[in-house]
Amino acid sequence: MNSFESRDARILGVDPGTATTGYGIIERQGARLCPIAYGVIRTPAGMDAPSRLARIHDAICALLDEHRVDTLATERLFFTRNETTAFSVGRTIGVVLLAAARRGIPWREYSPVAVKQAVVGYGGADKKQVQFMIQRILGLERPPSPDDAADALAVAVCHAHTMGSEP
């Protein structure tokens, strides 16, 4: 039996990026999903890479502690053209995972197609469709914004749907 099957869970979804990292925290209450917090962590363009990573790490640590997160999910890194961006985003994922690991918080990653499939029912959905469905699923007054926060909420919803069905 998965440890999440018998209890509610607080989930942090992360859409990693160096300039902007989206986050979305939801709580699974039985079959209901409730929004807790969402937004973005921004780092200035002129800031050196180690300082940017430290700022992202500190912000993720604060979110994990403040909201007593049970589990973390990220979107799987998928780049085919720009390896510099891929390395940069990979480093961001690393500091996010470090924050979770130091707290004993489990982590899962999902492909963009799997996230869209879980939220919209179609792996080729566009951003507007994902935002619309996140608004509906979480009972938000308006579509979540910016895109990075909406994507992070979508990752959290995807994880909530797969918890309990994992091997």
Residues noted as catalytic: 15, 75, 148
Alpha-carbon gap, residue 79 to 10, rounded angstroms:
29
Alpha-carbon gap, residue 44 to 30, rounded angstroms:
40
Q: What are phi and psi of 70, to 5 degrees?
A: -90, -35
Cross-strand bridge partners of residue 15? 22
Locate tokens 């973390």: which residue? 72
Alpha-carbon gap, residue 97 to 30, rounded angstroms:
27
Question: Do residues 11 and 156 touch, judged by C-beta distance below 8 A?
Answer: yes
Q: How far is CA 15 from CA 1, 53, 99, 104, 126, in A?
A: 29, 14, 15, 20, 16
